[in-house]
C-alpha cells in the first residue's frame, strides 16, 4: 500500500488527477469506478481542467459509481447522479451513455442490484476511487458482522445519515436506504485510490489501514488489496507520523 501525504490540497488534487489521467492516457477505454462525497471533488475539478486543456480525453471511458440513495426524486440535487453530472460529467467529454450510477428509484431494487452486478462483471474496473465514512464505510458498505460481495440495498446507519445531513435542509430529508456496490466488487478493481481529507478522518483512516481487518471497519479490507494508493491531506495523516 502506497501512502502519500500532501501539504496542500492543490498538490493532492493534482497527483490524484494525474493518476487517473495517466491511466486514461494509456488506456483510452479504461473503466473507472467513481465516488461521491466531498473528498474527490478537487480531483474531479483538476480532471476537468486537464480535459479542457486537451491533455486527457474521456471519450472512450466507461464509469460505474459506487452508490446512490434510495427514493430521492429524480433530479433532486443530492442524488449521486446529480452530483456526478454537476461535479464531473457535465464538464468533460465523456459519453454519458457510458456512465452508470445505480438507480435508487428502480421499481424493483433487487433487480436493479442484479443488473448492476451483471454490468460490473462484464466491465472490470481498472481504477476505483474511494472515500471513507467516519465509521469506516466504503461506498455505503456500513460496519456489520457480515458484508455483501455484490450490489445490494443497505439501511444507512444513523451516524451516516447525520454525517450526510449537512447536504440536506434537515435530517428528516436524508434517505434511510441506499443501493451500493459490495466490497467484493470494490476489491475486484485492479487498482484503488483512497482519498481522505480532514482531522475528523485521521483516526478512522489510521485504524482502517493499520488495525485489524474486520467487517466492523469495512475500509480495513483494503489491506488485502495488492494495488492501493492512499492520498491523505496532512490533517488526515496525523496518526501515521509519530
Annotated active-site positions, please? Answer: 67, 135, 137, 142
Give me the least distance between CB of 38 and ligand GLP, in Å please. Answer: 4
Residue 14 cell numbers, joined: 493534482
For ligand GLP, which stretch binds (CB under 6 A), given 19-27, 36-44, 169-177, 184-192?
Answer: 36-44
143 binds ligand GLP (CB under 6 A): no
Strand partners, 232: 5, 196
The residue range among 32-40, 56-64, 211-219, 229-237 that interacts with ligand GLP, by the rule CB under 6 A, is 32-40
Judging by beta carbons within 10 Å of its beta carbon (0-12, 13-18, 19+), is residue 85 exposed, middle or buried?
middle
Binding range to ligand GLP, per CB under 6 A, among 13-21, 29-37, 168-176, 230-238: 29-37
140 binds ligand GLP (CB under 6 A): yes
Dist CA 236 CA 132 (whole Å): 11
58: enclosing H helix or E strand: none
Distance of alpha carbon 112 from the chain centroid: 19
Q: Which string of x and - marks every residue 93-132 that binds ligand GLP (by CB under 6 A)?
A: --------------------------------------xx
Binding to ligand GLP by residue 38, rule CB under 6 A?
yes
Cβ distance to ligand GLP smaller for residue 56 or 186: 186
**Residue pair 109/117 in contact by the 8 Å Cβ criterion:** no
> Site for ligand GLP (CB under 6 A): which residue of 13, 39, 51, 128?
39
Task: Give min distance, CB of 37 to ligand GLP, in A.
Answer: 3
- Name the H helices within the chain: 9-26, 41-53, 80-87, 109-123, 158-164, 183-188, 202-210
Q: Does 35 bind ligand GLP (CB under 6 A)?
A: yes
Size of the site for ligand GLP (CB under 6 A): 14
Cβ proximity of 204 and 134 under 8 Å: yes
Q: Which is nearer to ligand GLP, 60 or 165 (CB)?
A: 165
How wide is the angle at C-alpha 132 spanned by C-alphas 30 and 36, nearest 5°?
55
- Looking at the Cβ atoms of 94 and 236, the one nearer to ligand GLP is 236
Torsion sign over Cα 186, 229, 53, 41: positive
CA distance 199 to 205: 10
Interface positions with ligand GLP (CB under 6 A): 35-39, 66-67, 131-133, 139-140, 160, 164
Amino acid at each position: 500500500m502506497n501512502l502519500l501525504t500532501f501539504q496542500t490540497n492543490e498538490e493532492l488534487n493534482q497527483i490524484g488527477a494525474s493518476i487517473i489521467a495517466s491511466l486514461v492516457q494509456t488506456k483510452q477505454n479504461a473503466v473507472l469506478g467513481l465516488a461521491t462525497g466531498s473528498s474527490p471533488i478537487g480531483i474531479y475539478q483538476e480532471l476537468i481542467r486537464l480535459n479542457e486543456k486537451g491533455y486527457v480525453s474521456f471519450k472512450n471511458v466507461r464509469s460505474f459509481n459506487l452508490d446512490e440513495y434510495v427514493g430521492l426524486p429524480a433530479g433532486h440535487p443530492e442524488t449521486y447522479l446529480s452530483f456526478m453530472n454537476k461535479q464531473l460529467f457535465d464538464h468533460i467529454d465523456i459519453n454519458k451513455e457510458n456512465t452508470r450510477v445505480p438507480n435508487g428509484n428502480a421499481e424493483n431494487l433487487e433487480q436493479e442490484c442484479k443488473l448492476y452486478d451483471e454490468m460490473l462483471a462484464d466491465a472490470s474496473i481498472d481504477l476505483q476511487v474511494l472515500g471513507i465514512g467516519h465509521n469506516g464505510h466504503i461506498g455505503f458498505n456500513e460496519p456489520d458482522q457480515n458484508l455483501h460481495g455484490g450490489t445490494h440495498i443497505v439501511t444507512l446507519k444513523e451516524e451516516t445519515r447525520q454525517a450526510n445531513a449537512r447536504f440536506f435542509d434537515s435530517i428528516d430529508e436524508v434517505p434511510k436506504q441506499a443501493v451500493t456496490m459490495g466490497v467484493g466488487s470494490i476489491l475486484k478493481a485492479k487498482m484503488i485510490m483512497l482519498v481522505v481529507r480532514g482531522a475528523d478522518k485521521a483516526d478512522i483512516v489510521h485504524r482502517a489501514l493499520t488495525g485489524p481487518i474486520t467487517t466492523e471497519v469495512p475500509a480495513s479490507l483494503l489491506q488485502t488489496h495488492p494495488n492501493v494508493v492512499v492520498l491523505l491531506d496532512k490533517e488526515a495523516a496525523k496518526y501515521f507520523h509519530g
